[in-house]
Homo-oligomer: A and B are copies of this chain.
Amino acid sequence: MTPIYDRVALIGLGLIASSMFWAMKRAGVAGEVTGYARSEETRDTARRIGLCDKVCDSAIEAVQDADLVVLCVPVGAMGAVAAEIAPHLKPGATVSDVGSVKKSVIEAVGPHIPEGVHFVPAHPMAGTEHSGPESGFATLFDNRWCLIVPNGADEEATARLERFWQALGANCERMEVEHHDLVCAVVSHIPHLIAYTMVGVADDLSRVSDQEVIKYSAAGFRDFTRIAASDPTMWRDVFLTNKDATLEILGRFTEELFALQRAIRTGDGDELFDYFTRTRAIRRGIIEAGQDTEAPDFGRVQAKE
A123 to B76, alpha carbons, bound, how many Å? 47
Q: Given A129-B283, A254-B254, check contact A205 B222 (CB 8 Å).
A: no
Q: Given A138-B303, A187-B220, check contact A279 B25 (CB 8 Å).
A: no
Verify if A155 is at the interface (C-beta below 8 Å from B): no
Verify if A260 is at the interface (C-beta below 8 Å from B): yes
What's the least CB distance linking A126 to chain B, in Å? 8
Residues of B within 8 A of A289 (CB): 211, 214-215
Check B218–A125 contact: CB distance below 8 A. Answer: yes
Q: Which residue of B145, B194, B222, B261 is within 8 Å of A215 (Cβ)?
A: B145
Check B216–A137 contact: CB distance below 8 A. Answer: no
Q: Is the interface of A mostly helix, strand, loop or mixed?
A: helix
Residue total for A at the interface (Cβ-Cβ under 8 A): 112
A281-305 CB contacts (< 8 Å) to partner B: 282-286, 289, 291-293, 296, 298-300, 302-305
A192 to B236, alpha carbons, bound, how many Å? 25
What's the least CB distance linking A217 to chain B, in Å? 5
Q: Which of A76, A190, A232 gathers the greatest number of chain B CB atoms within 10 Å?
A: A232
